[in-house]
Chains A and B, each alone.
Chain A
Amino acid sequence: MSGGFLPASVRRAVWRRQFLVQGCWNYEGMQNVGFAYSILPALVHLYAGRPEDLTKAIKRHLEFFNTQPAMGSVILGAAVRMEERVAAGEEDPRAIGTFKVGLMGSIGAIGDAYFWGALKPLASVAGAILSFVHPLLGISVLLLIYNFPHLVVRSRGFAAGMEGQEKAMTFLKGAGFKLRTEDRKTVAAVLGGIYGAMAVWHALAAGVSWGTAALYFAAAALLANLFTMMFRKAVSPSELLLLLLIVGLLLFPR
């Protein structure tokens, strides 16, 4: 974590506080209170003895803000760097708001696709499969697969942001999130297929013929396809589960 004027202890405090960026998530300002809380140690240090400037700086960060929380580390680091320049009179304070608003949408979309749409499903399906070997193995693998990249992005993203806006953009371009997202989605799909096969396997009684097994497999593949299409058409899993509950109660009464 390199930077200009801030001591390392302050930068570390800001880095630690980013883990609470959603602590007061609300429908109006979304992560506004969390962002102001995260950057507060830096502001207090930079505007020491200038209470009016400090209040103005805090208010700047209490404006609407929302992005993917792990990717937000890049914006947080860059905002700290920009506040250093603003405090030194080298930059217009309005540039900070423009930068945050300009980046939070695109960075949020990249982060949502990578963390929520690819890495989390990958970690979850790997954990779920391995939990059938031993639950503790599944839990460990889930936590490792997700948290290694998660903490690396939080750490390197913040450090890149602290180097300035250009370094932040270079980090985002160089990290190859698009390619990583596609790769992880593909691996998650492969593991999802294995998990689906385990479901078919569970449905079969021992000793059935290959023909019956093939029939079960074909039915399961068709069902998986049907469910996937329904999910993509925004049918909620809750609706399908409720439907199954009703079907079960009708077909298998006490």
Chain B
Amino acid sequence: MALRFLMAGLLGGICYLDRTAAFQVMLHRPLIAGSIAGALFGNFAAGAVAGAVIELLYIARLPVGASIPPDDTGAAIFAGAGAATAVPAGAPIDYAVVTALLLLSVLCAEAGKVADRFVRRINCRIAQVTIAAVDRGDIAAVDHGLLAGVTLFGAVGVALAVGFSGLGVLAGRWLPGMFTTGERTGFAQLFPLLPLLGAASVLSCSRSERSAVFFYIAMAIAFGVSLAWNWGLR
């Protein structure tokens, strides 16, 4: 188990660096973070289901200017680790537990946002020290300042990932006894609302009427085709 948390820390370090400080090649997206967290804790597919749902929930919250969106990477690590712990590999997905994990993951998303804000405040001090050092003619301070900032982002990412995956594992062990299992009973009845929230989040990124029309037409066609495909025309 210690090795799994070590790997989770490594995953977090990479994902959180990609999130803000370095590259931004989307390695931090919940689909990726959730799937890998799931794989680390024993069930890749369960982690991917959790990650795929969280992927779109916060997509309309843009990292513009000084605004910090909720930490969907941390939410996915929590939910992915939890889902993998709760659902043994190869077993059918327990949607009641996965739904509860996804809803609880909002606490991680908000906690991660607070941590991100904290890092950026500390970086203010690093930037001030860098500028003062350059004033004194120390040009290497620019490299050192950046390295300090990147290290801080990475270290906080490692700590968050270990913490969130630990909480996820605890929740994954504790939750299965809490709910009536079954795909369409109890807590699982709330599950379809989550991808629907994600779809609405995507639509809210566009304010044009054309996009809304295309959204509902595509929804109707996809729904009709899947009905016809699965049940046959009655």
A182 to B126, CA, bound (A): 39
Q: Which of A108, A124, A138, A232 has the most CB of B within 10 A?
A: A124
Residues B52 and A132 in contact, CB atoms below 8 Å apart: yes
Given the known A-B contacts A186-B206, A193-B215, are A203 and B192 also in contact in the complex, defined by CB atoms under 8 Å? Answer: yes
Count, A-B residue pairs, CB within 8 A: 343
Residues B196 and A220 in contact, CB atoms below 8 Å apart: yes
Residues A186 and B29 in contact, CB atoms below 8 Å apart: no
Given the known A-B contacts A33-B127, A33-B142, A223-B193, are A182 and B208 also in contact in the complex, defined by CB atoms under 8 Å? Answer: yes
Residues A192 and B202 in contact, CB atoms below 8 Å apart: yes
B54 nearest CB across to chain A (Å): 9
Residues B35 and A135 in contact, CB atoms below 8 Å apart: yes
Residues B219 and A193 in contact, CB atoms below 8 Å apart: yes
Enumerate chain B residues within 8 angstroms of A240, measured Cβ to Cβ. Answer: 197
Residues B59 and A121 in contact, CB atoms below 8 Å apart: yes
- Nearest opposing residue in chain A for B116, CB measure: A25
A147 nearest CB across to chain B (Å): 5
Enumerate chain B residues within 8 angstroms of A51, measured Cβ to Cβ. Answer: 137
- Nearest opposing residue in chain B for A217, CB measure: B223
Interface of B is mostly: helix
A39 nearest CB across to chain B (Å): 9
A231 to B197, CA, bound (A): 10
Q: Is A86 an interface residue (CB 8 A)?
A: no
Enumerate chain A residues within 8 angstroms of B139, measured Cβ to Cβ. Answer: 40, 44, 54-55, 58
Binary CB contact string for chain A from 212 to 254 against chain B (1 if under 8 A, 0 otherwise): 0100010011011111100110001110111011011000101
A201 to B227, CA, bound (A): 8
- Nearest opposing residue in chain B for A138, CB measure: B31
Residues B206 and A198 in contact, CB atoms below 8 Å apart: no
Q: Is B186 an interface residue (CB 8 A)?
A: yes
Q: Is A96 an interface residue (CB 8 A)?
A: no
A185 nearest CB across to chain B (Å): 4
4 more CB-based (< 8 A) A-B contacts, given A135-B52, A196-B215, A252-B189: A19-B23, A143-B32, A190-B215, A221-B216
B192 partner, pick from A59, A189, A202, beta carbons under 8 A: A202
B24 partner, pick from A70, A210, A231, A236, beta carbons under 8 A: A70
A200 to B198, CA, bound (A): 13
Enumerate chain B residues within 8 angstroms of A59, measured Cβ to Cβ. Answer: 131, 134-135
- Nearest opposing residue in chain B for A207, CB measure: B231
Residues B127 and A28 in contact, CB atoms below 8 Å apart: yes
Residues A121 and B202 in contact, CB atoms below 8 Å apart: yes
Q: Is A26 an interface residue (CB 8 A)?
A: yes
A20 to B230, CA, bound (A): 49
Q: Is A3 an interface residue (CB 8 A)?
A: no
Residues A227 and B200 in contact, CB atoms below 8 Å apart: yes
- Which size bracket describes the interface of B in this complex? 35 or more
- Nearest opposing residue in chain B for A55, CB measure: B137
- Nearest opposing residue in chain A for B211, CB measure: A189
Given the known A-B contacts A143-B26, A147-B25, are A37 and B146 also in contact in the complex, defined by CB atoms under 8 Å? Answer: yes
Q: Contact residues of A with B, CB < 8 Å?
A: 19-20, 22-30, 32-34, 36-37, 40, 44, 51, 54-55, 58-59, 62, 66, 69-70, 108, 112, 116-118, 120-121, 123-125, 127-128, 131-132, 135, 138-139, 142-143, 146-147, 150, 182, 185-186, 188-203, 205-207, 209-210, 213, 217, 220-221, 223-228, 231-232, 236-238, 240-242, 244-245, 247-248, 252, 254
Residues A189 and B196 in contact, CB atoms below 8 Å apart: no
Q: Is B6 an interface residue (CB 8 A)?
A: no
Residues A139 and B134 in contact, CB atoms below 8 Å apart: no
A219 to B216, CA, bound (A): 12
- Nearest opposing residue in chain A for B34, CB measure: A135
Q: Is B161 an interface residue (CB 8 A)?
A: no
A20 to B57, CA, bound (A): 27
Given the known A-B contacts A192-B199, A194-B219, A221-B219, are A124 and B59 also in contact in the complex, defined by CB atoms under 8 Å? Answer: yes
Q: Which of A24, A28, A32 has the most CB of B within 10 A?
A: A24
A66 to B96, CA, bound (A): 43
- Pairs A-B, 10 closest by C-beta atoms: A24-B149, A193-B218, A227-B200, A192-B202, A196-B199, A135-B48, A197-B222, A26-B123, A193-B219, A199-B195
Binary CB contact string for chain B from 138 to 158 against chain A (1 if under 8 A, 0 otherwise): 010011011111100100000
Given the known A-B contacts A58-B139, A193-B219, A245-B103, are A227 and B196 also in contact in the complex, defined by CB atoms under 8 Å? Answer: yes
Enumerate chain B residues within 8 angstroms of A221, measured Cβ to Cβ. Answer: 216, 219-220
Residues B123 and A24 in contact, CB atoms below 8 Å apart: yes
Selecting from B8-16, B64-72, B81-89, the interface stretch reads B64-72
